[in-house]
Structure formats: C-alpha cells, structure tokens
Amino acid sequence: MGLLEFNKLPINTLVGADWQTFRDITNGQEIDPAYRGKYRLTKAVCRLLSTLKPLQDSRYRKLLADKPLEHDPVFILGHWRSGTTFVHNVFSCDKHFGYNTTYQTVFPHLMMWGQPFFKKNMSWLMPDKRPTDNMELAVDLPQEEEFALTNMGPYTYYNFWFLPRKQQEYADKYLLFNDIMEEELQVFRDTFLKLIKISLWNTKGTQFLSKNPPHTGRVKELVKMFPNAKFIYLMRNPYTVFESTRSFFTNTIQPLKLQDVSVEEMEQNILSIYTKLYHKYEADKKFVPEGNLIDVKFEDFEADAMGMTEHIYRTLDIPGFTEARADIEKYVGGKKGYKKNKYQYDERTVRLVQDNWDFALRDWGYQL
C-alpha cells in the first residue's frame, strides 16, 4: 500500500514533464479555481526536476541517439478497457521484449540518470493497485507509453486528462492525426523513437512491445515509421467496454484534471471517440502488410491465454515463444484466481451502446 491514495495526489503526472512541454500544454489554458493549488505545486516540482533533463540528454546522445533499432515494434491495439493490459503483461514475460515502465510514464527524463533514487521514492508513495480494476501497480511493471509521450512533448492525446474540456479537439488532432500539422507530427515521430530506444536500454530488450490504446488511431503513421511492425488488435464486448471505460475515465481523471468536466460530457466523449477510433482503425488497417496484423477477441484470449498467445506468435512470426513459454505459463497460472469487476448493464447503458455502437455489435457478433 503506497503512502498516498490515487485520488488524493497533491500533484499530477506533469511533474515529470520537461519545462518546455509543461508550458506548451498549460499556457493560456483555463485552470479551474479548485485545482490551482495542484497546478502551482505541479509546476514548481516540474520546474525543479527539469533542471536535470540535460544530464539524460547528454547520455542519450552519447549512447543511443545514433543506434538503430534491431527490430520493428509489436503493437497491442484496441480501445481502452479492451483487455490490452492483460495481453501486454502476458507478452512482456518474454524477456526479448522491452517496454515502457510505470516509472518511465511519469519520469521519462529521469531514466538514464538518477533513476534509482527517484524510482525508490515513487515506489514508496504510489498506490499498489489501480483504483478501477485492482490490477497491480509497480514502478517496473510494463505500462502504456502515452503518459510518457505526454511528458516528452505537447502533441499527444493524453493532454485531455489535464484539460478534459478539450478532449474532442485533442482526439481529432493527436489521437486520429486528422488535423495535426506536419511539424507536430515530426516532433511526435522523433519523441516516440527516443522513448523506444530508452525503453529498450532500460529493460534490456531487443524488440519494443507497445500497449497504447491511442496508437489504434495511428496505424497508418506507425507503418510508415516501422514498415515491418506487428499489430495485435483486441476487440471486446462493447457493453463491457462502455461501462468499464466510463468507470476508468471517471476514476483516473480525478487526480490529474486541472478543470472540471461533467459526467454527461465525458460520457458523450467516450461514445463519440470510440466511434471515430473504430472507423479510423478499419480504414487504416489496409496499410499493414499481409501477415503483420491479427484481430483477436479478448474473450477468446481470456479463455485460453496460453493457446491464444502461441497462436499470435505463430501467426505474426514473432520469435521467442518456446524460450518464453515457462515464464508466460507462470504468469498466466498466477492470474487464475483474479477477480474481475462484474458489470450489470442497466437499460440506459444498453440503449446508449445500441444507439451509438451498433456497428461494432454487428461487425463483431456481440449481443447481450
């Protein structure tokens, strides 16, 4: 149990941003009165920690900047709450994979210098469970990289956690890349490549394993960056996804936000952005070379994690399953008693999903 409760954190994750990124994200934005104390404290800590960034930049230039990737990444895609975390944890048992850690999501500029000190303090303070689903939290566990990208540059979708009233704008520009400028896109490319190299250095992996729901809207760009990347796309019952996403967003946003947003607006954003993300993926998956993409129902993976993992390895021609089998079996076996949240779909939820996401119910064959 960490010293601090997740929903009572006195600062938000922007403490780990570099100073320029913090300013680019927050300058000119409306900070609601209730969060101005959190904003000021986050700003002060960010300003202080940013003075250490040049130390990492120097090491990165010396050790990693000119070093090419050995392999293109493996991307685990899917809308939030589609089972991406479990699949990510399973695949990360394979030691040839490298990944972004929970510590790195908050402090991406304190990876190659000072990590032992800051990681120890973060471990002492942070909760040991996610508030929404009781999944384990620990500084070295694999984590999605969007928070790290947010602290490394201003052109990412997760700015909405801090400024939720701009969620639709951030979605169109930085989730779907519809309205993004070329200069912004180049910053994203450069920043993401840097994150990958540091992640591999940190975890001693040879191939980057990404679990990042926002990448579901960026498939076309990711293929341009990594022509032989592999993609695992997860589908899940839309009724469950809606209930779980609403709960996840409502809880996760509490310690992060700097302005209020109504539950109704957040709910409408979830419904709208799911639709946009679904159709963007469907339009862009044709750019993935044949043999480099597999669509998986999470319910099938959950029912037979070992069998489905081996099937994914074979289908995508990913090396290393034989060597990783024992570690994967140990992890999967340890999760057999894990109790998931159970969702009861009320009439309103059923109506909202059927009215807004009927295409997913139909295309994937889900029903109540």
Residue 121: predicted pLDDT: 84
Q: What is the pLDDT averaged over residues 179-196?
A: 97
How far apart CA 244 and CA 250 sit, in angstroms, is: 10
Q: Each residue of 68-120: pLDDT tens digit? A: 999 999 999 999 999 999 999 999 999 999 999 999 999 999 999 999 999 88
**For position 367, what pLDDT does the model report?**
84
pLDDT score recorded for residue 4: 53
Question: What pLDDT does residue 346 have?
Answer: 87
Report which of residues 47 and 8 the model is more confident about: 47
In one letter, which amino acid is 264?
A: E
Encoded amino acid at 111, one letter: M
pLDDT value for 3: 43
- Percent of the chain residues topping a pLDDT of 70: 93
3-17, 26-40, 137-151, 292-306: segment of lowest average pLDDT? 3-17
Question: Band of the pLDDT at 128, cuts 50, 70, 90?
Answer: low
Give the mean pLDDT of the chain.
93
pLDDT value at 131 more than 70: no
pLDDT band at 11 (very low <50, low <70, confident <90, very high): very high
Distances (CA, A) of 188 to 171, 176, 296: 15, 13, 28
Question: How high is the pLDDT of residue 341?
Answer: 60
Spatial distance between the Cα atoms of 288 and 237, rounded to a whole number of angstroms: 25
Pick 132 or 186 by higher pLDDT.
186
pLDDT band at 5; cut points 50, 70, 90: low
Give yes or no for a contact between 261 and 164, defined as CB atoms under 8 angstroms apart. yes
Q: What residues contact residue 131 under an 8 Å CB cut-off, 6+ apart? A: 6, 7, 251, 252
Residue 337 has pLDDT above 60, yes or no: no
**CA gap 208, 72 in Å, rounded:** 7
Tens digits of per-residue pLDDT, 206-265?
Answer: 999 999 999 999 999 999 999 999 999 999 999 999 999 999 999 899 999 999 999 999
CA distance 366 to 368: 7
Q: Is the pLDDT of residue 45 over 50?
A: yes
Angle separating helix axes 238-252 and 347-356, nearest 10 degrees: 110
Q: pLDDT at position 172, please?
A: 97
Predicted local distance difference test score (pLDDT) of residue 6: 59
Contact 210, 218 (CB under 8 A): no
Share of the chain above pLDDT 90, in %: 86
In sequence order, the 6+-apart residues with CB closer than 8 A to the CB of 49 are 15, 16, 107, 109, 110
d(CA 266, CA 294): 31
Q: Do the beta carbons of residue 247 and residue 187 sit within 8 Å?
A: no
pLDDT tens-digit series, residues 155-164: 999 999 999 9
pLDDT of the residue at 133: 56
Q: How far apart are the C-alpha atoms of 358 and 351, rounded to whole Å?
A: 10
Residue type, 148: A
Residue 72 CA from chain centroid, whole number: 18
Q: What pLDDT sits at residue 1? A: 42
DSSP 216: G
Amino acid at 286: K
Query: pTM here?
Result: 0.94
CA 171, CA 266: separation in Å to the nearest integer? 13
